[in-house]
Amino acid sequence: MLSSLLVLSTAFAAGDPDAEGDVVASIQIAAAPDVVHAYLMDLSNHADLAEKDCTRKWQLGERTEGVGAGARLTYVAPPVWRRSLTMTIIESEPRRITIDHPGNRGFVTTFDFEDPEAADTNVTMHTWINPPPKPLQGVYFKWVQPHWRDCQERFLASVAAAVAG
C-alpha cells in the first residue's frame, strides 16, 4: 500500500500528463512551425499577448529569447488564486519548447508542435500542475483550472493572430 502511494505521489510530482490537475489547450495556426516556434521562443511576445486577467507584473530578464531566457510574473485566477513565479525557457527542439517555473509552487509548461514539416502548425500548450490538497481542490477544479485553460486558449489564439500571414 505504501509503495503504491509513493508511486502515485511520484507520478504527480513528476508532472504525469494524465494528472487531473493539468491544463491543456490546442490550436491549429496558419503559419509554418519554425515561425511559430521562433515567436514562442521570445518571452517578450508572451508578455505582450498575455491577458491581464491571466498574468500580471511581467518583469523580463536580461535575456528574453532562447534557452535561458527568463522573466518574473504573477499568474492570477479569480476568485483567490495568485502565484508569483520566475519562468525560464529550459528546452528548445523542433517539436517542443519547455518552460520551467521552479520551486515548490512552480510547474512546467510545454508547447508541442505536430509535424514540423507541415505548412500549418498544430500547437498544444500543456501545463503539468498538481492540484492542491483537499479542501482547496474544489476551488481549483471549479474556478482556477477552467480559468487557466481559457487563458491558454486565448493566448494561443493571440499567437495565431500575431504570426498569421
Domains and CATH numbers, the chain: 20-163 (3.30.530.20)
Pick the more confident residue, 44 or 137. 44
Residues in Cβ contact with 110 at an 8 Å cutoff, skipping those fewer than 6 apart: 96, 97, 98, 99, 124, 125, 126, 128
Cβ atoms of 46 and 109 closer than 8 Å = no
For 94-144, what is the HEC assignment?
A: CCEEEEEECCCCCEEEEEEEECCCCCCEEEEEEEECCCCCCCCHHHHHHHH
Instruction: Say if residues 39 and 162 touch (Cβ distance below 8 Å).
Output: yes
pLDDT value at position 165? 61
Q: Give this prediction's pTM.
A: 0.84
pLDDT at position 18, please?
39
The arithmetic mean of pLDDT across residues 11-28, rounded, is 65
Pick from 40, 43, 71, 68: which is nearest to 57 by CA? 71
Instruction: Pick 165 or 27 by higher pLDDT.
Output: 27
Q: CB neighbours (10 Å) of residue 112?
A: 15
Condensed to tens digits (0 to 9), the pLDDT of residues 80-118 reads 778 899 999 999 999 999 999 998 888 999 999 987 667
For the chain, what percent of residues have pLDDT higher than 90? Answer: 62
Mean pLDDT across 31-39 = 93
Are 119 and 28 a contacting pair, CB within 8 Å? no
pLDDT, residue 133, reads 83
Q: What is the H or E stretch that residue 83 is in?
A: strand 81-93
Q: Is the pLDDT of residue 144 over 60?
A: yes
Question: How many percent of the chain have pLDDT more than 70?
Answer: 86
What is the DSSP code (8-state) at residue 67? T
Per-residue pLDDT at 12: 34
79 has a pLDDT exceeding 90? no
